[in-house]
Amino acid sequence: MRSPNNDKKKKRIVVTASYEGLKKAETALIRLGFESKSNFAKYHSSRTTVTKFFQGKPISIESFKRICKGLELDWEDCLRTEAIIITDQEEVTREILYLQITLTDGQTKIVKAVIFFKVI
């Protein structure tokens, strides 16, 4: 009899940096004094993963966060607005939706609260 765990496809979420995020990352490399991406990789991730990041190729969300932290960048600001989910046999791309709700006082127009939603 087969184990129920073997029937499920294991999914891993991978993400890519946006064009603006890549520009910020390049600037951060210089600002932090790294002479090359290879030197940065020695301290923060593998060279292959760092290369993929700077080429805008998909990497795991954990690696993405680690690289952005090493560059002193907010990872969400560098994120491309779509997520790629890879299973064993297929690749699916979904757009990430952002929604902002601002609550204001009707009379004074003072902002009382701002709520952000991210739907993946």
- Find the CATH number of the domain harbouring 20: 1.10.260
Q: Are 65 and 14 in contact (CB under 8 A)?
A: no
pLDDT at position 110, please? 83
Q: Number of folded domains in the chain?
A: 1
Q: Tell which wins on pLDDT, 3 or 28.
A: 28
- Give the mean pLDDT of the chain: 78
Domain with 70 in it: 10-95
DSSP 1-24: ---HHHHSPP-EEEE-B-HHHHHH
Give domain status of residue 4, yes or no.
no
Tell me the one-letter amino acid at 50. Answer: V
Give domain status of residue 117, yes or no.
no
Q: Mean pLDDT over residues 101-105, rounded?
A: 74
Determine the Cα–Cα distance for residues 67 and 42; give it in Å rounded to an integer.
Answer: 11
- The torsion region of residue 33 among left (phi > 0), alpha (psi -120 to 50) and beta comes to left
Q: pTM of the entire structure?
A: 0.60
Confidence category of residue 1, pLDDT binned at 50, 70, 90: very low
Give domain status of residue 60, yes or no.
yes
Q: Mean pLDDT over residues 33-37, rounded?
A: 88
Give domain status of residue 103, yes or no.
no
